[in-house]
Amino acid sequence: MKTSDLYQHVTNSIIKTLEEGTAVWIRPWKTSRVSKGSIMPHNFATGRPYSGINVPILWCRAADNGYAEHSWLTYQQATGAGGQVRKGEKSCTVVFTKKLAFKEEDDTGRKVSMLRQFYVFNVAQIDGLKEPEIKPELPEAREANTETFIQKTAAQIKHGGNKACYIPSLDFVALPEFNQFRSPQHYYATALHELGHWSGAKHRLDRDLQGRFGTRKYAAEELVAELTAAFLCAHLGIEGELRHAEYIKSWIELLKHDDRAIFTASSKALQAADYLRSFSEAQEEAT
Same domain, 82 and 220: no
Same domain, 92 and 230: no
Same domain, 93 and 228: no
Q: What pLDDT is attached to residue 97?
A: 72
Nearest Cα neighbor of 250 from 212, 219, 217, 211 is: 219
Q: Enumerate the H helices of the chain as residue ranges.
A: 3-19, 54-65, 75-80, 139-152, 184-198, 216-236, 248-257, 261-277
Please state, as a whole number, how many other Cβ atoms lie within 10 Å of the Cβ of residue 47: 10
pLDDT beneath 70, residues of the chain? 1, 3, 26-38, 98-114, 131-138, 243-245, 282-287
Q: At how many degrees (to 10) do helices 216-236 and 184-198 cross?
A: 130
Domain that holds residue 103: 31-135
Same domain, 193 and 205: yes
Same domain, 155 and 130: no
Same domain, 64 and 185: no
Q: What pLDDT is attached to residue 89?
A: 97
Tally the domains of the chain: 2
Q: What pLDDT is attached to residue 33?
A: 43
Q: Enumerate the H helices of 153-215 as residue ranges.
A: 184-198
Q: What pLDDT is attached to residue 60?
A: 83
Helix (H) / strand (E) element for 73: namely strand 71-74
In a domain, 22, yes or no: no
- Measured CA to CA, the distance from residue 194 to residue 225 in angstroms comes to 7
Q: Last residue of some domain: 100, 135, 170? A: 135
What lies within 8 Å, CB to CB, of 200 at 6+ separation is 206, 207, 208, 209, 221, 224, 272
Same domain, 114 and 151: no
Cα dist. 212→165, 216, 221 in Å? 14, 9, 10
Q: Last residue of some domain: 135, 167, 186? A: 135
Same domain, 118 and 129: yes
Q: Last residue of some domain: 72, 101, 135? A: 135
Q: What pLDDT is attached to residue 174?
A: 97
Same domain, 146 and 271: yes
Starting at the edge strand that comes first in sequence, how are the strands of the sheet with 157-159 ordered?
157-159, 172-175, 165-167
- Measured CA to CA, the distance from residue 146 to residue 165 in angstroms comes to 19
Same domain, 229 and 243: yes
Same domain, 70 and 41: yes
- Are 8 and 259 a contacting pair, CB within 8 Å? yes
